[in-house]
Structure 1
Amino acid sequence: MQYTRNVEALKEGTVIDHIPAGQGLKILRLFQLVETGERVTVGLNLQSRHMGSKDVVKVENIALTEEQANELALFAPKATVNVISNFEVVKKHKLELPEEIEGVFACPNSNCISHKEPVKSFFYVRTVKNDTKMKCKYCEKVFTKDIVVEVR
């Protein structure tokens, strides 16, 4: 079987590759990549030798920081995040699940004080038996990564 590239090269920006199939749109939404105003290219359910199928996200003129890349590890722990300059990879972020995430997700608990007070959301992250949990700093409720929602 022959593999071909399905997405054009990027001159400047960030490429998030090896996203589990079906997670690309969630990453776009949660990390507000479309709202940057820059051109975003998304490949969904692309063929992958290693994963079977995968999603890819390319964002022009935006270089994700290591902290931002690590927040992606919640949804795509084996993703690769490459910063591109002049068509060359100038930095590869090796993803590590962060211990804390601030200001990215709103607490799913509608009674949480973070919805009523002018504070950034804040979660402690931990993995127990290959299951990632997020504990809200304010209401102390524990949630799975699948029910967090984007910040309002």
Structure 2
Amino acid sequence: MNENNKKKLKLKVSAIKDGTVIDHIPAKNLFKVITILGLDKIDNQITFGTNLDSKKLGAKAIIKVSDLFFEDNEINKIALIAPHAKLNIIRDYEVVEKKIVATPEKIVGIVKCFNPKCITNNEKITTCFKVISKEPIALKCKYCEKITSDDEIVML
């Protein structure tokens, strides 16, 4: 099949009138992003695709959420699992703003401590981590001082 025919076969996903598009998510982390943003608990129209071709990531995922706009602190949570993600803010079918995620300096209440003996895993205490490395992600627990690396991150 020649290149022109391949281009004609690409499927189009319908545009959203208003909302947010999250692009450049590593394919393996799509459902983590959905969970961390609570998208699995809302009634808005959500379209997602995974294992899409990406020159940067090899395989990427994308999420389109109608009628929802995220606060900066929510956007920055994405950086824990998709540090190269980009957000497009859509209004009246047009991209009106582009945002790049940034890893926050402190992570509170969204990640479980890797240390099973940590007080946060045994009592009702909110987790709190200092980000000691942004790429790859490494988090130092405020209470037990153990380091949770990116491959050990478990969302609460």
- Name the TM-score, length of structure 2 as normaliser: 0.81
- Following superposition of structure 1 onto structure 2, how do residues 70-89 of structure 1 map, counting pairs within 5 Å? 70-89=76-95
- Which one is further off, 46-55 or 88-97? 46-55
Segments of structure 2 that go 5 or more residues without pairing to the other structure are none
* Of 119, 129, 138, the match for 1:133: 138
Instruction: State the SS of the aligned residue for 2:28.
Output: coil
Q: CA deviation at 1:116?
A: 4.2
- Partner Cα distance (1:5, 1:41) in 2: 13
> Aligned-pair distance for 1:117?
4.0
CA distance in 1 between partners of 2:11 and 2:131 (Å): 35
Alpha carbons 2:36, 2:78 under 8 Å: kept: no
Partner residue, 1:150: 155
Distance 1:51 1:65, change over 3 A: same
1:17-96 mapped onto 2 (5 Å cutoff): 17-96=23-102
* More strand by percentage: 1
In 2, the alpha carbon distance for the partners of 1:150 and 1:77 equals: 16
2:140 is the alignment partner of 1:109: no
Root-mean-square deviation (Å): 2.3
Relative distance call for 1:5 and 1:80 in structure 2 (3 A) is farther
More helix by share: 2
Deviates more, 1:136-145 or 1:84-93: 84-93
**Structure-2 separation of matches of 1:17 and 1:79:** 6
Deviations 1:45-89 (A, max 9, x none): 112355443100122222112222122122222211122222222
What stretches of structure 1 of length at least 5 have no aligned partner?
A: none
The reply to whether residue 13 of structure 1 matches residue 19 of structure 2 is: yes
| Matched-pair identity in % | 37
